[in-house]
Structure 1
Amino acid sequence: MSEAQCLTRAAASLREVVRNIKPDQLGAPTPCAEYDVRKLVKHLLFWGPSLGAAARKETVPPPAEAEQDLDLTGGDWAADLVALLDRTADAWSEPGAWEGTTHMGGPTELPASLVGGMVVVELVVHGWDLARATGQHVAKDDDLLDYVRGEVAKTADQGREMGVYGTEVTVPTSASTLDQILGLTGRNPTWAP
Protein backbone atom coordinates (compact mmCIF):
# COMPACT_ATOMS: atom_id res chain seq x y z
CA MET A 1 0.00 0.00 0.00
CA SER A 2 1.36 3.43 -0.93
CA GLU A 3 1.72 6.32 1.50
CA ALA A 4 -1.09 8.15 -0.31
CA GLN A 5 -3.36 5.12 0.09
CA CYS A 6 -2.56 5.07 3.82
CA LEU A 7 -3.61 8.69 4.09
CA THR A 8 -6.79 8.07 2.12
CA ARG A 9 -7.72 5.16 4.41
CA ALA A 10 -6.92 7.17 7.54
CA ALA A 11 -9.11 10.04 6.33
CA ALA A 12 -11.96 7.65 5.47
CA SER A 13 -11.85 6.10 8.94
CA LEU A 14 -11.88 9.49 10.68
CA ARG A 15 -14.69 10.69 8.39
CA GLU A 16 -16.85 7.78 9.55
CA VAL A 17 -16.19 8.58 13.20
CA VAL A 18 -16.97 12.28 12.70
CA ARG A 19 -20.27 11.50 10.97
CA ASN A 20 -21.36 9.47 14.02
CA ILE A 21 -20.59 12.03 16.74
CA LYS A 22 -23.83 13.19 18.32
CA PRO A 23 -24.22 16.83 19.38
CA ASP A 24 -24.64 15.83 23.04
CA GLN A 25 -21.21 14.14 22.94
CA LEU A 26 -19.23 17.34 22.25
CA GLY A 27 -18.49 17.84 25.94
CA ALA A 28 -17.26 14.26 26.46
CA PRO A 29 -13.65 13.76 27.59
CA THR A 30 -11.18 12.17 25.19
CA PRO A 31 -8.01 10.13 25.77
CA CYS A 32 -6.12 13.22 24.61
CA ALA A 33 -6.12 14.82 28.07
CA GLU A 34 -6.16 18.48 27.04
CA TYR A 35 -9.16 18.03 24.74
CA ASP A 36 -12.79 17.14 25.10
CA VAL A 37 -14.58 16.14 21.88
CA ARG A 38 -15.47 19.77 21.07
CA LYS A 39 -11.88 20.98 21.51
CA LEU A 40 -10.48 18.08 19.49
CA VAL A 41 -12.90 18.82 16.63
CA LYS A 42 -11.82 22.49 16.79
CA HIS A 43 -8.18 21.36 16.71
CA LEU A 44 -8.79 19.32 13.56
CA LEU A 45 -10.72 22.15 11.88
CA PHE A 46 -8.06 24.70 12.83
CA TRP A 47 -5.02 22.76 11.59
CA GLY A 48 -6.71 20.92 8.71
CA PRO A 49 -6.03 23.57 6.06
CA SER A 50 -2.31 23.45 6.86
CA LEU A 51 -2.27 19.66 6.47
CA GLY A 52 -3.64 19.84 2.94
CA ALA A 53 -1.50 22.85 2.02
CA ALA A 54 1.63 20.92 3.00
CA ALA A 55 0.89 18.42 0.21
CA ARG A 56 0.74 21.31 -2.26
CA LYS A 57 4.00 22.77 -0.86
CA GLU A 58 2.10 25.84 0.34
CA THR A 59 2.02 27.53 3.70
CA VAL A 60 -1.42 28.52 4.89
CA PRO A 61 -1.55 31.14 7.62
CA PRO A 62 -3.59 30.05 10.62
CA PRO A 63 -7.13 31.38 10.78
CA ALA A 64 -7.56 34.82 12.33
CA GLU A 65 -9.43 33.33 15.27
CA ALA A 66 -7.63 31.13 17.77
CA GLU A 67 -8.28 27.39 17.83
CA GLN A 68 -10.27 27.61 21.05
CA ASP A 69 -12.43 30.44 19.63
CA LEU A 70 -13.80 28.44 16.70
CA ASP A 71 -17.57 28.29 17.00
CA LEU A 72 -19.25 24.94 16.40
CA THR A 73 -22.76 26.28 16.90
CA GLY A 74 -24.98 27.38 14.08
CA GLY A 75 -23.07 25.54 11.38
CA ASP A 76 -22.58 21.98 10.30
CA TRP A 77 -19.15 21.39 11.80
CA ALA A 78 -19.30 17.67 10.96
CA ALA A 79 -19.85 18.40 7.26
CA ASP A 80 -17.10 21.02 7.37
CA LEU A 81 -14.67 18.54 8.92
CA VAL A 82 -15.62 15.76 6.50
CA ALA A 83 -15.07 18.14 3.55
CA LEU A 84 -11.72 19.17 5.02
CA LEU A 85 -10.67 15.52 5.35
CA ASP A 86 -11.68 14.92 1.73
CA ARG A 87 -9.60 17.90 0.56
CA THR A 88 -6.62 16.72 2.63
CA ALA A 89 -6.79 13.20 1.21
CA ASP A 90 -7.13 14.58 -2.33
CA ALA A 91 -4.13 16.87 -1.86
CA TRP A 92 -1.90 14.05 -0.61
CA SER A 93 -3.03 11.83 -3.52
CA GLU A 94 -1.55 14.22 -6.08
CA PRO A 95 1.70 13.26 -7.84
CA GLY A 96 4.66 14.82 -6.08
CA ALA A 97 2.90 15.43 -2.77
CA TRP A 98 5.19 12.99 -0.96
CA GLU A 99 8.36 14.17 -2.74
CA GLY A 100 10.79 16.96 -1.91
CA THR A 101 10.27 19.24 1.05
CA THR A 102 7.34 21.14 2.44
CA HIS A 103 6.19 23.21 5.40
CA MET A 104 3.92 22.26 8.26
CA GLY A 105 2.29 25.56 9.19
CA GLY A 106 5.60 27.34 9.67
CA PRO A 107 8.81 28.35 7.91
CA THR A 108 10.83 25.19 8.66
CA GLU A 109 11.22 22.92 5.66
CA LEU A 110 10.78 19.21 6.30
CA PRO A 111 10.82 16.17 4.01
CA ALA A 112 7.35 15.86 2.46
CA SER A 113 7.26 12.14 3.26
CA LEU A 114 7.85 12.94 6.95
CA VAL A 115 5.07 15.53 6.97
CA GLY A 116 2.71 13.19 5.10
CA GLY A 117 3.45 10.48 7.64
CA MET A 118 2.69 12.93 10.45
CA VAL A 119 -0.65 13.73 8.82
CA VAL A 120 -1.55 10.03 8.63
CA VAL A 121 -0.63 9.59 12.31
CA GLU A 122 -2.71 12.65 13.24
CA LEU A 123 -5.78 11.28 11.48
CA VAL A 124 -5.46 7.76 12.90
CA VAL A 125 -4.67 8.71 16.48
CA HIS A 126 -7.22 11.52 16.76
CA GLY A 127 -9.72 9.23 15.04
CA TRP A 128 -9.18 6.74 17.85
CA ASP A 129 -9.46 9.54 20.43
CA LEU A 130 -12.83 10.63 19.06
CA ALA A 131 -14.10 7.08 18.57
CA ARG A 132 -13.19 6.08 22.12
CA ALA A 133 -14.73 9.23 23.57
CA THR A 134 -18.01 8.68 21.73
CA GLY A 135 -18.39 4.92 22.12
CA GLN A 136 -17.45 4.03 18.55
CA HIS A 137 -15.09 1.41 17.20
CA VAL A 138 -12.54 2.06 14.48
CA ALA A 139 -12.32 -0.63 11.82
CA LYS A 140 -9.04 -2.55 11.95
CA ASP A 141 -6.76 -1.95 8.95
CA ASP A 142 -3.55 -3.90 9.49
CA ASP A 143 -1.61 -2.34 6.60
CA LEU A 144 -2.49 1.17 7.73
CA LEU A 145 -1.64 0.42 11.36
CA ASP A 146 1.72 -1.12 10.40
CA TYR A 147 2.56 2.06 8.48
CA VAL A 148 1.47 4.29 11.37
CA ARG A 149 3.49 2.29 13.91
CA GLY A 150 6.60 2.81 11.77
CA GLU A 151 5.94 6.55 11.46
CA VAL A 152 5.30 6.99 15.17
CA ALA A 153 8.42 4.99 16.07
CA LYS A 154 10.51 7.33 13.88
CA THR A 155 9.20 10.51 15.50
CA ALA A 156 8.11 9.52 19.04
CA ASP A 157 11.08 11.06 20.86
CA GLN A 158 10.85 14.28 18.85
CA GLY A 159 7.08 14.33 19.37
CA ARG A 160 7.53 14.10 23.13
CA GLU A 161 10.12 16.91 23.08
CA MET A 162 7.66 19.10 21.17
CA GLY A 163 4.80 18.24 23.53
CA VAL A 164 2.84 16.53 20.74
CA TYR A 165 3.04 13.12 22.46
CA GLY A 166 2.80 12.38 26.15
CA THR A 167 5.09 10.16 28.17
CA GLU A 168 5.16 6.70 26.62
CA VAL A 169 2.65 4.28 28.12
CA THR A 170 4.14 0.81 28.45
CA VAL A 171 2.09 -1.87 26.76
CA PRO A 172 2.74 -5.64 26.76
CA THR A 173 5.01 -6.92 23.98
CA SER A 174 2.04 -8.98 22.79
CA ALA A 175 -0.13 -5.85 22.44
CA SER A 176 -1.94 -5.17 19.18
CA THR A 177 -0.36 -2.81 16.67
CA LEU A 178 -2.94 -0.16 17.55
CA ASP A 179 -2.17 -0.47 21.26
CA GLN A 180 1.56 -0.14 20.51
CA ILE A 181 0.87 3.06 18.55
CA LEU A 182 -1.27 4.46 21.35
CA GLY A 183 1.37 3.67 23.97
CA LEU A 184 4.08 5.36 21.90
CA THR A 185 1.95 8.50 21.62
CA GLY A 186 1.37 8.57 25.38
CA ARG A 187 -2.16 7.19 25.35
CA ASN A 188 -3.47 4.40 27.52
CA PRO A 189 -5.09 1.84 25.19
CA THR A 190 -7.52 0.86 27.96
CA TRP A 191 -8.73 4.44 28.49
CA ALA A 192 -12.48 4.74 28.98
CA PRO A 193 -14.63 7.82 29.57
Structure 2
Amino acid sequence: MTTAVDHLESVLDKTAALIAEVRAEQGALPTPCPGYDVSALVGHQVEWVSRFADALAGGPATPQPGLLAGDQFRAAAERAVAALRAGASDREVSLGGDPLPGAAVAGMMLMEYITHGWDLAEATGQPIPFSEDEAEAALATGRSMLTPELRGDAFAFEVPVPDDASAVDRLVGFLGREPRA
Protein backbone atom coordinates (compact mmCIF):
# COMPACT_ATOMS: atom_id res chain seq x y z
CA MET A 1 0.00 0.00 0.00
CA THR A 2 1.31 3.44 -0.93
CA THR A 3 1.64 5.77 2.06
CA ALA A 4 1.55 9.56 2.18
CA VAL A 5 5.32 9.58 2.65
CA ASP A 6 5.74 7.32 -0.40
CA HIS A 7 3.70 9.80 -2.45
CA LEU A 8 5.75 12.70 -1.11
CA GLU A 9 9.06 10.98 -1.80
CA SER A 10 7.98 10.32 -5.39
CA VAL A 11 6.77 13.92 -5.88
CA LEU A 12 9.96 15.39 -4.43
CA ASP A 13 12.07 13.16 -6.68
CA LYS A 14 10.08 14.26 -9.73
CA THR A 15 10.33 17.92 -8.70
CA ALA A 16 14.10 17.58 -8.27
CA ALA A 17 14.27 16.17 -11.81
CA LEU A 18 12.25 19.14 -13.14
CA ILE A 19 14.59 21.58 -11.39
CA ALA A 20 17.65 19.77 -12.74
CA GLU A 21 16.38 20.22 -16.32
CA VAL A 22 15.98 24.01 -16.09
CA ARG A 23 18.43 25.74 -18.41
CA ALA A 24 20.10 29.03 -17.44
CA GLU A 25 18.43 30.87 -20.30
CA GLN A 26 14.99 29.90 -18.91
CA GLY A 27 15.48 31.79 -15.65
CA ALA A 28 13.53 34.90 -16.64
CA LEU A 29 10.58 33.03 -18.15
CA PRO A 30 7.25 33.74 -16.45
CA THR A 31 5.49 30.93 -14.59
CA PRO A 32 1.80 30.34 -13.85
CA CYS A 33 2.59 31.24 -10.22
CA PRO A 34 1.97 34.99 -9.94
CA GLY A 35 5.06 37.02 -9.15
CA TYR A 36 7.54 34.25 -9.88
CA ASP A 37 9.75 33.77 -12.89
CA VAL A 38 11.54 30.43 -13.30
CA SER A 39 14.60 31.48 -11.26
CA ALA A 40 12.50 32.83 -8.39
CA LEU A 41 10.29 29.73 -8.39
CA VAL A 42 13.30 27.40 -8.25
CA GLY A 43 14.74 29.48 -5.41
CA HIS A 44 11.39 29.33 -3.58
CA GLN A 45 11.22 25.57 -3.94
CA VAL A 46 14.79 25.07 -2.71
CA GLU A 47 14.31 27.45 0.23
CA TRP A 48 11.05 25.89 1.36
CA VAL A 49 12.06 22.25 1.02
CA SER A 50 15.02 23.17 3.24
CA ARG A 51 12.69 24.82 5.78
CA PHE A 52 10.38 21.82 5.75
CA ALA A 53 13.34 19.46 6.20
CA ASP A 54 14.75 21.52 9.09
CA ALA A 55 11.37 21.56 10.84
CA LEU A 56 10.75 17.86 10.33
CA ALA A 57 14.29 16.85 11.34
CA GLY A 58 14.27 19.10 14.41
CA GLY A 59 17.02 21.48 13.34
CA PRO A 60 19.07 22.87 10.47
CA ALA A 61 21.28 20.74 8.28
CA THR A 62 24.99 21.26 7.90
CA PRO A 63 25.46 23.79 5.05
CA GLN A 64 26.84 22.34 1.83
CA PRO A 65 28.15 25.32 -0.16
CA GLY A 66 28.59 25.07 -3.89
CA LEU A 67 25.72 22.68 -4.60
CA LEU A 68 23.57 23.39 -7.64
CA ALA A 69 19.91 24.19 -6.97
CA GLY A 70 18.79 20.72 -8.04
CA ASP A 71 21.31 19.08 -5.72
CA GLN A 72 20.31 21.38 -2.82
CA PHE A 73 16.68 20.51 -3.42
CA ARG A 74 17.38 16.78 -3.59
CA ALA A 75 19.49 16.78 -0.39
CA ALA A 76 16.83 18.66 1.58
CA ALA A 77 14.04 16.50 0.12
CA GLU A 78 15.86 13.32 1.16
CA ARG A 79 16.32 14.75 4.64
CA ALA A 80 12.61 15.62 4.92
CA VAL A 81 11.52 12.15 3.80
CA ALA A 82 13.98 10.48 6.18
CA ALA A 83 12.61 12.55 9.08
CA LEU A 84 9.03 11.61 8.17
CA ARG A 85 9.95 7.92 7.96
CA ALA A 86 11.70 8.25 11.36
CA GLY A 87 8.52 9.48 13.06
CA ALA A 88 8.10 13.19 12.29
CA SER A 89 4.66 12.36 10.85
CA ASP A 90 3.53 11.45 14.36
CA ARG A 91 4.64 14.56 16.23
CA GLU A 92 4.05 18.31 16.24
CA VAL A 93 6.22 20.33 13.84
CA SER A 94 6.79 24.08 13.86
CA LEU A 95 7.34 26.03 10.68
CA GLY A 96 7.66 29.26 12.63
CA GLY A 97 4.06 29.64 13.74
CA ASP A 98 1.80 27.40 15.75
CA PRO A 99 2.89 23.76 15.72
CA LEU A 100 1.19 21.51 13.19
CA PRO A 101 0.85 17.73 13.06
CA GLY A 102 3.76 16.29 11.11
CA ALA A 103 1.33 14.42 8.87
CA ALA A 104 -0.29 17.76 7.95
CA VAL A 105 3.13 19.21 7.07
CA ALA A 106 3.74 16.21 4.79
CA GLY A 107 0.38 16.88 3.12
CA MET A 108 1.23 20.56 2.69
CA MET A 109 4.51 19.57 1.06
CA LEU A 110 2.74 17.22 -1.32
CA MET A 111 0.37 19.99 -2.39
CA GLU A 112 3.20 22.57 -2.62
CA TYR A 113 5.56 20.48 -4.74
CA ILE A 114 3.02 19.11 -7.18
CA THR A 115 1.65 22.59 -7.78
CA HIS A 116 5.00 24.36 -8.05
CA GLY A 117 6.37 21.42 -10.05
CA TRP A 118 3.47 21.91 -12.43
CA ASP A 119 4.25 25.65 -12.56
CA LEU A 120 7.88 24.90 -13.41
CA ALA A 121 7.04 22.25 -16.01
CA GLU A 122 4.53 24.56 -17.70
CA ALA A 123 7.01 27.45 -17.78
CA THR A 124 9.90 25.40 -19.16
CA GLY A 125 8.00 23.13 -21.53
CA GLN A 126 8.68 19.95 -19.58
CA PRO A 127 6.16 17.10 -19.28
CA ILE A 128 4.03 17.06 -16.12
CA PRO A 129 5.40 14.02 -14.25
CA PHE A 130 2.93 13.65 -11.37
CA SER A 131 0.57 10.68 -11.08
CA GLU A 132 -3.17 10.78 -10.57
CA ASP A 133 -2.77 9.15 -7.14
CA GLU A 134 -0.24 11.77 -6.04
CA ALA A 135 -2.46 14.62 -7.21
CA GLU A 136 -5.60 13.09 -5.64
CA ALA A 137 -3.78 12.86 -2.29
CA ALA A 138 -2.63 16.49 -2.58
CA LEU A 139 -6.11 17.64 -3.56
CA ALA A 140 -7.62 15.87 -0.55
CA THR A 141 -5.10 17.66 1.69
CA GLY A 142 -5.85 20.99 0.05
CA ARG A 143 -9.59 20.59 0.43
CA SER A 144 -9.16 19.76 4.12
CA MET A 145 -6.79 22.65 4.89
CA LEU A 146 -7.44 25.54 2.52
CA THR A 147 -10.54 27.34 3.69
CA PRO A 148 -12.22 30.13 1.69
CA GLU A 149 -11.00 32.82 4.11
CA LEU A 150 -7.38 31.95 3.24
CA ARG A 151 -8.01 32.76 -0.42
CA GLY A 152 -6.99 36.00 -2.08
CA ASP A 153 -3.68 36.50 -0.29
CA ALA A 154 -1.15 33.66 -0.34
CA PHE A 155 -3.63 31.41 -2.16
CA ALA A 156 -5.51 32.42 -5.28
CA PHE A 157 -9.19 31.82 -5.78
CA GLU A 158 -10.17 28.46 -7.22
CA VAL A 159 -10.42 28.22 -11.02
CA PRO A 160 -13.28 25.94 -12.07
CA VAL A 161 -12.29 22.87 -14.07
CA PRO A 162 -14.48 20.08 -15.45
CA ASP A 163 -15.27 17.23 -13.06
CA ASP A 164 -13.67 14.79 -15.50
CA ALA A 165 -10.37 16.74 -15.63
CA SER A 166 -7.22 14.98 -14.50
CA ALA A 167 -6.41 15.09 -10.80
CA VAL A 168 -3.40 17.31 -11.55
CA ASP A 169 -5.62 19.79 -13.40
CA ARG A 170 -8.20 19.71 -10.59
CA LEU A 171 -5.42 20.37 -8.05
CA VAL A 172 -3.90 23.30 -9.92
CA GLY A 173 -7.36 24.71 -10.58
CA PHE A 174 -8.16 24.37 -6.88
CA LEU A 175 -5.01 26.38 -6.16
CA GLY A 176 -5.90 29.13 -8.63
CA ARG A 177 -4.05 28.12 -11.78
CA GLU A 178 -5.62 27.80 -15.19
CA PRO A 179 -4.96 24.19 -16.26
CA ARG A 180 -3.91 23.67 -19.82
CA ALA A 181 -6.59 22.46 -22.20
> Could you say whether these structures have the same fold, taking a TM-score greater than 0.5 normalized by the shorter chain as the test?
yes
Where does structure 1 lack aligned partners over 5 or more consecutive residues? 61-73
Q: What does 1:131-142 align with in structure 2 at a 5 Å threshold?
A: 131-142=121-132
Change (3 A) 1:135 1:159: farther
1:99 is aligned to 90
Q: Which moved more, 1:160-169 or 1:144-153?
A: 160-169
Change (3 A) 1:75 1:83: closer
Aligned to 2:75: 83
Question: What does 1:8-157 align with in structure 2 at a 5 Å threshold?
Answer: 8-56=9-57, 58=58, 76-94=68-86, 96-104=87-95, 106-157=96-147
Contact 1:27 1:37 in 2 (8 A): yes
Q: Provide Cα deviations, 1:27-50, integer angstroms capped at 9, x if missing partner.
A: 111010110011111112222222
Gap runs ≥5 in structure 2: 61-65
TM-score by length of 1: 0.82
User: 1:175 — aligned with what?
Assistant: 165
Is contact 1:159–1:165 with CA below 8 Å preserved after alignment?
no
Structure of greater relative contact order (alpha carbons < 8 Å, 6+ residues apart) = 1
Specify whether residues 130 and 144 from structure 1 end up closer, same or farther in structure 2 by C-alpha distance, changes over 3 A only.
same
State the AA in 2 paired with 1:103.
S
- Partners in 2 of 1:41 and 1:31 — Cα distance? 13
Cα distance between partner residues in 1 of 2:106 and 2:130: 21
- In structure 1, distance between residues paired with 2:151 and 2:125: 31
Matches of 1:140 and 1:43 in 2, distance apart? 19
Give the match's secondary structure for 1:137. coil
- Paired with 1:168 and 1:32, the residues of 2 have a C-alpha distance of 13
Q: Distance in 2 between matches of 1:12 and 1:81?
A: 9
Query: 1:190 deviation in Å?
Result: 2.0
Corresponding residue of 2:63: none
Over the matched positions of the two proteins, sequence identity in percent amounts to 28
Partners of 1:17 and 1:159 in 2: CA distance: 32
Deviation at 1:159, TM superposition (A): 7.9
| Aligned counterparts of 2:55 and 2:8: Cα–Cα separation in 1 | 13
CA contact (8 A) 1:49 1:84 kept: yes
CA shift for structure 1 position 163? 2.7
Q: Secondary structure at the match of 2:147?
A: helix
